[in-house]
Homo-oligomer: A and B are copies of this chain.
Amino acid sequence: MATSTVENYLKEILVITLEEEISKVPMGQVAKVLGVTPGTATSMAKSLERDGWIKYFPRVGVSLTKKGKKLAMNMLRRHRLLETFLVETLGLDWSEIHAEAEELEHAISEKVLEKLDDFLGRPRFDPHGDPIPSKGGVIQQMTSKPLSEFPEDASVRIESIIDQNKEFLRFARKSNLVPGQLLKIIGKEVCADAITLKTLKGKVVNLGFRSAEKVLVLPYE
């Protein structure tokens, strides 16, 4: 069984791998994200390799083995589901959930996690808009999705507008709803059928759900 220190190392290595699209994460970076000295990261790398979690390439960096990646993906799932719970159910602030989830993710059992997933309605994105890996450890393809499927506070980038309607397109352009534009969902009232957006420049736009379905976006950052 992996200790929570091991879980943290693997998860952070995975996150860096995904974010920077590199195959070997240098030790300095590992040390930095985990808040330990470089020497600690190196000695940890050796014992992680001994236990089959990673491959360690001296003076180059580390990469996850299949077994390591599986565990790391599972940790990411835990983390993101917990963040969703903390925001959606308990109403915690966006800014404080990361640290909280960081602790809980090591303590929650597989069973409770699945119950929580049910309770939350099997969300596919966390409050930051990041995809929640499936139970099997597969991460959702980053194919663009309708704006309407994202939760409040999500940061997204417009990929495309799927509507031929000239009226709508004109409105969209006028409101800066163009591919490439970065947006934050600052309000989502399901009962009122309304979504409120803010562009990077601070411009605020309101959309109905019907329209929000026509705007395909990707989670950003």
Contacts and interface: CB of A to CB of B under 8 A. Distances in A.
Interface stretch (A5-13, A59-67, A90-98, A210-218): A90-98
Copy number in the complex reads: 2
A119 B107 contact: no
A112 B92 contact: yes
A170 interface: no
Interface in A55-93: 86, 89-92
A88 to B, nearest CB: 11
Contacts of A89: 119
A146 to B, nearest CB: 30
Given A96-B111, A111-B96, A90 B119 contact: yes
Contacts of A103: 107-109
A106 B108 CA distance: 11
A116 interface: yes
A92 B96 CA distance: 27
A162 interface: no
Contacts of A116: 90
A115 interface: yes
Nearest to A107: B107
A154 to B, nearest CB: 22
B86 A100 contact: no
Contact of A111 (B92, B107, B112): B92
A138 interface: no
Interface of A: 86, 89-92, 96, 100, 103-104, 106-109, 111-112, 115-116, 119
